[in-house]
Amino acid sequence: LAPSELQQIEKYTRENHTMDLSVVIKLVAPLLHSGEETPDPIPTTTRGTIPAWINGSFLRNGPGKFEFGEDRYNHWFDGMALMHRFHICEGSVTYSSRFLRSDSYNLNSERNRIVVSEFGTVALPDPCKNFFARFLSRFQIPQPTDNANVNFVKYKGDYYVSTETNFMRRVDPQTLETKEKVDWSQYVAVNSATAHPHYDREGATYNMGNSYGRDGFFYTIIRIPPAEEAAAKEDSADLSGAEVICSIPAAESRKPSYYHSFVMSENYIVFVEQPIKLNVLKFMLYKIMGESFQKILSWEPQYGTVFHLVDRHTGQVKVKYRTAPMFTLHQINAYEDNGFLVMDMCCGDDGDVIGEFTLENLRQESGDDLDKFYNSLCRNLPRRYVLPLNVDEQTPLDQNLVTLPNCKATAKRTNSGEVYMTHEELHNDELLQYGGLEFPQINYDKYNGRPYRYFYACGFGHVFADSLLKMDVHTKELKVWRYPGLFPSEPVFVASPDAAEEDDGVVLSVIITPRKEKSTFLLVLDAKTFTELGRAEVPVSIPCGTHGVFNETG
């Protein structure tokens, strides 16, 4: 874009809190291009100052390849995993990236077409087979993908990349080389696991999966013990000792709920059974019907939302809590306070949004069509729910049980012996100028499961994130980093070595610059003031990604 166009963008954005549609079209399309890998680390150009105390690797994951031969994926979630590494040492930064050599990637590459089905794309039968063989192939049980393009996770000191099937891939966090495929079902009786585990302060890891059989459909909570200090470390995956500590039966066995993550406090795990439903019958037949996994999910608000509270030490399921229909992908934090569990989440009121991020919708050629699509999406906003922990038959009915000061959330015991909750909006009207928020992060190591004050997130002024936000949950005040035409990734907090306060440190985010090719940069913000300290410019075009972590030992 010409300088005069950029000035017009900035003026229009200031006055209207959004971008001109023709500009949006120019900028969004490059976010969804296929990337190229950079396996050998390359230097970056530093502007400003990268604090010398930052020493480690910022690891990012996300979809990075959207076609093989003439075949194209349908949904943004389907792209092949492209891993990125920004290594920071003594104020300088290098960059490298690699495609995950999953079975899905290798098979697709060998045959130069899509042969493994993904979330929104069904692989078609081999055209080289005869008609009868192609027909019979529709009745074969589809194998889950190992295209782990969602997140980097850690078990017993090893890094893995993960998606939402039963497969993960162990990876080398230094070289990004792909190691062995790991099947959860070989360790515990589950059919999948999330890409958002939680870690306790003793070194154990918790995750959620599911299982189904003659007895119905169950949501399962998994615990993986810490690595044994005295044991000799072998270069192989180790999930030994993994155990299911709790199984929660689905409210509707033939229509279990979709979930992306869960929340954990010092003593509890909360699973949100939301009304995004998976039709089990369609799931069994989806390959025969030629429909993708995305098509068997449906938003069914008549079921409402159920919070399952589990004691993470005993596995005991506590009282069942209900609230109005809503959906959540990412929770912010949860902590216990004087007999209550305070739970903060990013929530929306229409779960159909998950299936709407098709590449067709995101690559609209008309500004009006793209704007219509954006306006059809619900805004995800931060909410607070408060769960009273001491509820029994003596607890009074239809009386607000929440007695925390300055709290607008409510919880009432109902005649059914359950508790019905209403939420508190964890924001003021200023946030609406930035279109809601997602991808929340906190000072996890020190404050996850504990009372906290700040979280960091992406603001969504249009289809993709176009701002970084810092929210004060005490005052609901915002700090904002936003520049027209720049698209940030999920912000990740890194504490300074001498941190005395919760926000002493930096926030890292990868900024995509579609108006200028091969100029992506790593942004470093002062977490306290939310002002830029420095940036490391990379001569590479990077597609929009999903999640990342900071590896301090990198």
What's the pLDDT at 138? 44
pLDDT of 151-179, one tens digit each? 999 999 999 999 989 999 999 999 999 99
Q: How far apart, in whole angstroms, are the C-alpha atoms of residue 223 and residue 21?
A: 48
What's the pLDDT at 141? 52
Cα of first residue to Cα of last residue in the chain, in angstroms, is 38
Is 84 among the annotated ligand-binding positions?
A: no
Q: How far apart, in whole angstroms, are the C-alpha atoms of residue 25 and residue 19?
A: 10
* DSSP at 146: -
Is 196 among the annotated ligand-binding positions?
A: yes
Helix (H) or strand (E) holding 240: none
Can you name the residues that pair with 457 across neighbouring β-strands?
469
Q: Which residue has tokens 């000072």?
A: 443
How confident is the chain (554 residues) per 10-residue block, as mean pLDDT? Answer: 46 48 55 88 96 97 92 86 96 97 94 86 61 42 82 96 94 97 94 95 95 89 88 82 95 91 96 90 59 72 95 89 95 97 95 63 64 77 97 92 96 90 96 93 97 97 90 97 93 97 98 81 98 96 92 75
Q: How far apart, in whole angstroms, are the C-alpha atoms of residue 331 and residue 268?
A: 14
Reduced to 3 states, what is the DSSP secondary structure of residue 108? helix
What's the pLDDT at 254? 87
Note the pTM of the prediction, 2 decimals: 0.89
Helix (H) or strand (E) holding 14: helix 3-16
Residue (of 224, 201, 271, 196) closest to 548 by Cα position: 196
What's the pLDDT at 14? 47
Whether the CB-CB separation of 509 and 532 falls below 8 Å is answered with no
Q: Are strands 419-422 and 317-323 parallel, antiparallel or unpaired?
A: parallel
Q: How far apart, in whole angstroms, are the C-alpha atoms of residue 413 and residue 388?
A: 10
Q: How far apart, in whole angstroms, are the C-alpha atoms of residue 19 and residue 358?
A: 22
Can you name the residues that pair with 530 across neighbouring β-strands?
none
* DSSP at 145: P
Whether the CB-CB separation of 532 and 523 falls below 8 Å is answered with yes
pLDDT of 208-248, one tens digit each? 999 988 888 999 999 999 998 766 577 889 999 999 999 99
Is 17 among the annotated ligand-binding positions?
A: no
Domains of the chain, residue spans = 3-232+240-552
Give residues with Cβ within 8 angstroms of 260, minimum separation 6: 164, 194, 195, 196, 328, 329, 330
Give residues with Cβ within 8 angstroms of 229, minimum separation 6: none
Number of Cβ atoms within 10 Å of the Cβ of 376: 12
Q: Which residue has tokens 């890891």?
A: 205
The tokens describing 39, both together, are 């396996």
The tokens describing 481, both together, are 């980093």
Is 547 among the annotated ligand-binding positions?
A: yes
What's the pLDDT at 100? 97
The tokens describing 519, both together, are 């100029």
What's the pLDDT at 12? 44
What's the pLDDT at 517? 73
Q: How far apart, in whole angstroms, are the C-alpha atoms of residue 111 and residue 133?
A: 18
What's the pLDDT at 311? 95
